[in-house]
Chain A
Amino acid sequence: MNPGRISQLVFLVAFICILFIASESYKRTGKFRIRRIPGLDAIDELVGRATEMGRPLAFVFGAGEMEAQTFASLRILGYVCEQVARYDARLHTVTPLPEIYPMCLEIQRSAYVKQGKPQDFNQDFVQYLPADSSKASVLGLFQREKVSGVLLFGNYYYESMVFAEAASLVGAATIAGTANFHQLPFFVAACDYTLIGEELFAAGVYMSREPSEIGALTAQEAAKVAAVTLMLIGAALASFGKDSLVNILKN
């Protein structure tokens, strides 16, 4: 066993156990409550607005590297694609990450197939644009297509402000979500709705109510409670000059 990692292993095992227990419990009882996330509720409005106005939507991924936020955003893309296919709206998907281009393509294709409209799928509506050049292209897309709504999700950096403001200049409604706290203030200031940090990861549960996702969210919440408890106990002990908790966690 590597030194200093026992407490981390205990945490991981506990996390996995809670995930499965909560998942099984939901399968049995079907009971689960999650608070409203206005940003996710607004997706349907955005699609409806796009259909009424006859103007397309744009879903743009952040230019940061592919990681958990990207997966969470792909889940949201899946939902948006289904809604778009259902209501005959149009959606431009732009990814600056070459790795997820095939996934975006398949997600969009399968959404149309699911709605029984495979003929409506157009792969030109999914674009890979390398990080730096994507900025100009996305701005051009917003202007040319006069998009009615813009969804900005994922690992965002400075392009957050550029895209959010450019969307506002063409009168598009904006929903954004990122766990990158350095970009959150920009999204909060410039977008209509913002998913902050873990709300992005909770999107899957919110939209699908899939047991394993509910299990994962429950484990997350339990871990958060544990973290706060440990922090409080640690702070109290440290105030009395005792670092026993720190020593335990260091194991």
Chain B
Amino acid sequence: MKKEGPILIGFLTGSIVITSYFLKSTGLKSISDTVVRWRLIIAAFALALGALNMVRLHGKNIHHKGRNWQYSVVFLVFFLPYLAIGLIRGSNSAQYQYVWKSLYQPASATMYSMTLFYMTNAVWRAFRIRNLHAGILMFTGAAVMLGQIGIGTAISPLIPRFSSWLLDTVNTAGIRAITIGGSLGIVSLGLRVILGLERSYMSDGGN
């Protein structure tokens, strides 16, 4: 049953949603909508499961005085009160928003900003004309970057035109090809899950 259960659920729910997409039936659509809403509930539960795992992991680390256990203390000191505020006062409350705006927002924005530093490193390290491919990559990258900013137009009106051509023609063609290939991959994997052929997500690979 450990194997058959998930396969059966996958088959039933997947078939209902797909069939309701093709068939004009109000009853079937209503069942399909319900199935889709179950997924939303599962997603919400998964968040709670993830949070529990974090608490377990860090709690265990503190208990066993594991490596860098002090950081686990810091984590729990911030995590638990914030969770409590969210659960008791709700996300609309001034307290929740205060913590969010003073701690979470700047920390999260900082993480994203760091991308620029890593990107700069990559530009320095990777954009070397070692061969023809690397040369094309660098040349087109530079043209698109220049085309995206006003100064490109100031240097020559041909730059934004060339940049647009790269984006509209070369890039679009490439993206469409990858999209078609990737989408077919998604269709194939989705069908395999629904038909119970894909079992890699099960504990023993379905064997």
A interface residue numbers (CB < 8 A to B): 1-2, 5, 8-9, 12, 15-16, 19, 67-69, 71-72, 74-75, 78, 97-103, 106-107, 109-110, 124, 127-130, 132, 135-136, 144, 158, 161-162, 164-166, 168-169, 179, 181, 184-186, 188-190, 196-198, 200-202, 204, 212-213, 216-217, 219-220, 223-224, 227
**Chain B nearest CB: distance from A164 CB in Å?**
7
**Chain A nearest CB: distance from B118 CB in Å?**
4
Q: By the criterion CB–CB under 8 Å, are A99 and B43 in contact?
A: yes
**Cβ-neighbour of B188 out of A169, A179, A190, A219 (below 8 A):** A219
B125 interface hit (Cβ, 8 Å)? yes
Q: By the criterion CB–CB under 8 Å, are A198 and B60 in contact?
A: no
> Which residues of A lie under 8 Å from residue B175 when comparing CB positions?
181
Q: By the criterion CB–CB under 8 Å, are B180 and A181 in contact?
A: no
Q: By the criterion CB–CB under 8 Å, are B188 and A165 in contact?
A: no
Contact A1 to B200, CB < 8 A, known contacts A68-B190, A78-B205, A101-B53: no
Contact A72 to B189, CB < 8 A, known contacts A110-B204, A179-B178: yes
By secondary structure, the A interface counts as helix
Contact A19 to B188, CB < 8 A, known contacts A71-B200, A179-B182: yes
Q: By the criterion CB–CB under 8 Å, are B122 and A227 in contact?
A: no
**Cβ-neighbour of A189 out of B137, B186, B195 (below 8 A):** B137
Distance of A102 Cα from B42 Cα, bound (Å): 14
**Chain A nearest CB: distance from B196 CB in Å?**
9
Distance of A109 Cα from B202 Cα, bound (Å): 11
Q: By the criterion CB–CB under 8 Å, are B22 and A2 in contact?
A: yes
Among all A-B residue pairs, the 5 with the closest Cβ atoms:
A98-B50, A201-B185, A106-B203, A165-B118, A179-B182
B97-111 with Cβ < 8 A to chain A? 107-108, 111
Q: Which residue of A lies closest to B194 (CB)?
A: A16
